[in-house]
Amino acid sequence: MHIIAVGAGPSGLCLALLLGKAGIKTTLLDTGSTIDDRPRAAHYAPSAIRVLRAAGVLEDVRRLGFLPGNMTWRKIDGTPIASIKDTAETRGPEGLTVLPLNLLGKVLLDHAEKNTNITIKWNHNVVGVGQDDTSAWAIVRAEDGTETKYSGDYLSGCDGANSQVRKSLFGESFPGKTWDAQIVATNVYYPLDKLGLDEINNIIHPTDYYMAAKITRDGLWRVSYGEDPNLSHAEVVAHQPAKFARMLPGNPKPEDYKLTNVGPYRIHQRCADKMTVGRITLAADAAHLCNPFGGMGLTGGLVDVGDLADCLVGIDQGLAEPQILEKYCEIRRQKWRDVIDPISSGNFIRVSATDPERAREVDPFLEMVKKMETDAVLRKEFDDSVYDICHDFKQYYKGAQRVTANELKL
C-alpha cells in the first residue's frame, strides 16, 4: 500500500511513522522548505503520549521534554483556586508531557528521515486532490506553474488549519465558530516558578486572563494571554510590555525578562462535515480546530492519526474492509463533538468569563478539582477520563471478538 499524506507537520509525520512501522510506504508533500517552527503546542495529554510511543518516538520526546508538576487555577494576584497535584512520578508512563512543537517536529522528522518507507518532499504545494475507484492523488503546482500528480492507494490531508485538501473537498465550509478574542502566545525567560507559580497555571480574570507554563527545562515559559480582537499585530506587540507589567507576578519591566516570541492568534471551534470521502481522509487541524486552553488541539490530532493508521494497516493486511474509514469519520467527529469541543470551550470560558471570586461556586469543574485534592477515588476517575477521546479501531478487524455483524454498515 502507498499513502499520500499532504502536510509534514506533526500529524503527517506521526502518521507516516506509524504506517512505516507496518511496512506501508508514505509520500509526504509539504509546501514549506522544512518544519514549521512557530510557537504553538507544547503539552501532550496521555492519549497522545500513547500514540507517540506507538510511533517509536516517546523515548526521544521524554529525553528532550519533561513531566510537569501541578496544574493550578488562580486569581490574578496568585491566590490558588484549585490544583491538580502532580509530580513526575504521579504522572506515570503515559503522563502529560511538555515539549515545544518545534522540538517535537524535529524528533518526528529525525525518525522519519531514517525510515526507508517514508519519502518527504518539501517545497511541494498541493493545490488539489482527486480520486477514482482504485487510487487517490494530489496535484502539486510548482512556482513556474507546472503541475505534477502524486498518486497512492489513499490520501490523507494533514495540512493544518487552512487545509487545501479540506477546501478541495468542501470549499470554504468549515462548520463552527471563531471566538471574539485574540490570544497572544509568547515565549519568555522569566522565572515564574520562583515567583510562586506552578509549572502549569490558568489565571482567571475578565480581561487579563492567561495561561503560564514552563515549557523547557532551561526555564523558557509559554505565557498565552487574551487581547482585544480588534488590535493589529503591531498593536499587540506594542501592548505586550504593559500587559506583562500588569498581569505577571513581580510586575516585570522588559529588562526583567527575555522575550523570544510574540505570536497573536485568532481561536476557533470547528469540525469538517466529514473526515472521510472515499479514499481521502482528513486528520488533526485539517479536520478540526479548538482553542489552545487545555492543550487539546494536537493531542486530538495525534489520536486521529493513531486511529487512521490502525484503519489503513487493517485494510493493507486484509484485516479490515475499506469501509472502516467511514467508521474513522464517524467516531473521530463524534469524539470532537462530545469531548474535545465542550472541554476545550469550557477551559476557555473558565479563564476568560468566570468571576474569579466565585469560581468554585459557579464552575462544577473547579469544585471537582478542589475535591480531587483529597479524594483519591474522584482523582482516579479524572485520570481515567483523559482517555475519553480514544477509541479501539482494531475491534472492527475481521475476527475480532467484539465486532458485530452490522458494525460497519453505517
Ligand X SMILES: Cc1cc2nc3c(=O)[nH]c(=O)nc-3n(C[C@H](O)[C@H](O)[C@H](O)COP(=O)(O)OP(=O)(O)OC[C@H]3O[C@@H](n4cnc5c(N)ncnc54)[C@H](O)[C@@H]3O)c2cc1C
Grid coordinates representing 37 are 517552527
* Residue 10 makes contact with ligand X by CB under 6 A: yes
Q: How far is CA 183 from CA 94, 178, 211, 236, in A?
A: 29, 12, 10, 10
- How buried is residue 79: exposed, middle or buried, by Cβ count under 10 Å (0-12/13-18/19+)? exposed
Least Cβ distance, residue 47 to ligand X (angstroms)? 10
d(CA 69, CA 264): 27
* Residue 292 makes contact with ligand X by CB under 6 A: yes
* Residue 301 makes contact with ligand X by CB under 6 A: yes
* Residue 67 makes contact with ligand X by CB under 6 A: no
75 close to 85: Cβ distance less than 8 angstroms? no
* Interface segment toward ligand X; rule CB under 6 A; list 18-26, 79-87, 298-306, 359-367: 298-306
Least Cβ distance, residue 299 to ligand X (angstroms)? 4
Helix (H) or strand (E) holding 52: helix 46-54
Residue with smallest beta-carbon separation from ligand X: 9
Q: Which is nearer to ligand X, 46 or 396 (CB)?
A: 46
| Best CA proximity match to 267, nearest among 181, 343, 199 | 181
Least Cβ distance, residue 329 to ligand X (angstroms)? 17
Helix (H) or strand (E) holding 350: helix 341-352
Least Cβ distance, residue 358 to ligand X (angstroms)? 28
Least Cβ distance, residue 222 to ligand X (angstroms)? 7
Binding mask 86-115 for ligand X (x = CB under 6 A): ---------------x--------------
d(CA 102, CA 347): 24
Binding mask 247-266 for ligand X (x = CB under 6 A): ------------------x-
The interaxial angle of helices 324-335 and 297-316, nearest 10 deg, is 170
d(CA 235, CA 15): 39
> Which 27-66 positions form the footprint of ligand X (CB under 6 A)?
29-32, 36, 40-44
Q: Which of 6, 24, 107, 109 binds ligand X (CB under 6 A)?
A: 6
Beta partners for residue 210, in sequence order: 203, 225
* Interface segment toward ligand X; rule CB under 6 A; list 1-9, 65-73, 337-345, 389-397: 1-9
Beta partners for residue 289, in sequence order: 270
d(CA 231, CA 173): 26
| Site residues (vs ligand X, CB under 6 A) | 6-12, 29-32, 36, 40-44, 101, 125-126, 158-160, 164, 185, 224, 265, 284-286, 292, 295-299, 301
